[in-house]
Amino acid sequence: MHRKDRVVASRGPDSRATVPGVRLIERVVVLAMCSVLAGATAIFAHAQSVSGNTDAKRASASNELHVMVWTATLPDHPTLLLVPTVHLLAADDPRIDVALGALADRVQAIVLEAPLKPTPAQAAAILRRYGMYPASDNLTNHVSGITAERLAQCARQSGHKVLFFFQLKPWLASLAAFYRRKTPDAAEPGGEVSLVDYPGIDLRLSSIAQARKMPLIYLETDEQGLKVFSDVPPQAQEAMLIASCDGLTGVRVPGTADLRAMEAAWISGDAAQLDRLLTTRDPKESDALYAADQYIFRANTEVFAAALARYEYFHGRGPILVAVGAGHFFGAASLLERLRAVGYTVIPPQGATVTRHGTTPDVNHSSP
């Protein structure tokens, strides 16, 4: 079971994801493309930027934290330092940038899931190819569990023109609603909702690499990332859309992920807790929504593993930092398990928090 960590934080002390179904947006490229299209199509909000470490942050940081790192070694290959990421953070902690900067000091290159800044033209072309119906067709012809009236309401609640919203395929309409700009009918007053309070680990590492002019490598192309969504089974896509629309009205869809809990586990290096948060399925979660979650997890993990095996850059150089979503680190068929299957020796983080049974979490053999 895999509970994805790409979710949007809602305001309030609990800071839970407003649309848990789209926690399965495990792709950094999706967040980046959505932000790029804000200027091109006016449907997505602008992603926040994050700078590298500053002297002020270094000075203010206390109680130094240590990032959990899995080390993978294979003869004649560079050492891989594998770091699970949380794509969006519910709160800021100055120690995070300090710790990531120190980690970057140890490597020759940084590897992320996908490019963070495709051009508007590139993003729009790919989304038209995989995410939009022709003028002769529309969304209502492809869903049965949500009415046209509810879809129109969903479009208005998320600040989009109804006719344009209806040209989107279910998976993209789900994202359009998820990365909303306005929610006049939502529980929160004011009509404007922040998409995310603070940029996640991926964006911070990207900024560090760019500031230091370090090689920045990607495991997946923009097109690969979005094609994964377009290939999600139709019933699962519809479940994603319904979950996103329900989230706009304040409904807590079963399976909601707690951003603060995930961030706290990441900061404390509690691999066992992160494992539990990401692999425990809410028994009330619909099968269709869970199927979408699982499909995107498996498809992207396969792409990441293939890229690590294929790229000639990874041979004879290193050490290299590989940072991908935490959901790919736990459970059956995880990225760590795939590396081990091709001969890597994978060593878990030093001092990893023990489980209640007194052992470190088995990140390679968790129950599916």
Lowest mean pLDDT among 54-58, 240-244, 329-333: 54-58
Residue 355: inside a domain? no
Minimum mean pLDDT among 10-24, 71-85, 204-218, 340-354: which range?
A: 10-24
Q: Is 363 part of any domain? A: no
In this prediction the pTM is: 0.74
Q: State mean pLDDT over 160-170.
A: 94
Evaluate if residue 36 carries a pLDDT over 50.
no
How far apart CA 195 and CA 331 sit, in angstroms, is 29
232: pLDDT strictly greater than 50: yes
Q: What is the number of structural domains in the chain? A: 1
User: Residue 18 pLDDT > 80, yes or no?
Assistant: no
Distance CA 300, CA 225 (A): 8
Whether residue 3 is predicted with pLDDT greater than 70 in this model: the reply is no
Tell me what the mean pLDDT of segment 312-329 comes to. 86
Whether 12 maps to a domain, the answer reads no
| Any domain includes 253 | yes
Least confident residue range of 28-42, 154-168, 182-196, 266-280: 28-42
CA distances from 45 to 17, 34, 69, 198, 243 (A): 17, 7, 32, 14, 19
Residue 362 lies in a domain: no
Rg over alpha carbons for the chain, rounded to the nearest Å, is 20
Q: How confident is the model at residue 161 (pLDDT cuts 50, 70, 90)?
A: very high
Angle at 39 between CA 36 and CA 45, to 5 degrees: 65
Phi, psi of 202 (to 5 degrees): -60, -50
d(CA 365, CA 332) in angstroms, rounded, equals 5
User: pLDDT at position 116, please?
Assistant: 64
Residue 337, CB-side half-sphere exposure with 13 Å CA sphere = 18
280 in a structural domain: yes
Q: Is residue 367 part of a domain?
A: no
Helix axes 28-41, 222-230, angle to 10 degrees: 90
According to DSSP, the residues that pair with 182 across neighbouring strands are 192
Q: Where is average pLDDT lowest: 10-14, 212-216, 228-232, 291-295? A: 10-14
Which residue range(s) make up the domain with 47?
20-347
HEC profile for the chain?
Answer: CCCCCECCECCCCCCEECCHHHHECCCHHHHHHHHHHHHHHCCCCCCCCCCCCCHHHHHHCCCCCCCCCEEEECCCCCCEEEEEECCEECCCCHHHHHHHHHHHCCCCEEEECCCCCCCHHHHHHHHHHHHECCCCCCHHHCCCCCCHHHHHHHHHHCCCCHHHHHCECHHHHHHHHHCCCECCCCCCCCCECCCCCEECHHHHHHHHHHHHCCCEEECCCHHHHHHHHHCCCHHHHHHHHHHHHHHHCCCCCCCCCEHHHHHHHHHHCCHHHHHHHHHCCCCCCCHHHHHHHHHHHHHHHHHHHHHHHHCHHHCCCCCEEEEEEHHHHCCCCCHHHHHHHCCCEEECCCCCCCCCCCCCCCCCCCCC
pLDDT given for residue 225 in this prediction: 81
| pLDDT interval class at 117 (50, 70, 90) | low
Res 135: pLDDT: 92
Pairwise pLDDT comparison (268 vs 11), residue with the higher score: 268
**Across 223-232, 288-297, 334-343, which has the greatest mean pLDDT?**
334-343
- Tens of pLDDT, residue by residue over 259-313, are 788 899 999 999 999 988 888 888 888 888 888 888 888 888 999 999 988 877 7
- Predicted confidence band of residue 197 (pLDDT cuts 50, 70, 90): low
Lowest mean pLDDT among 17-21, 102-106, 292-296, 339-343: 17-21
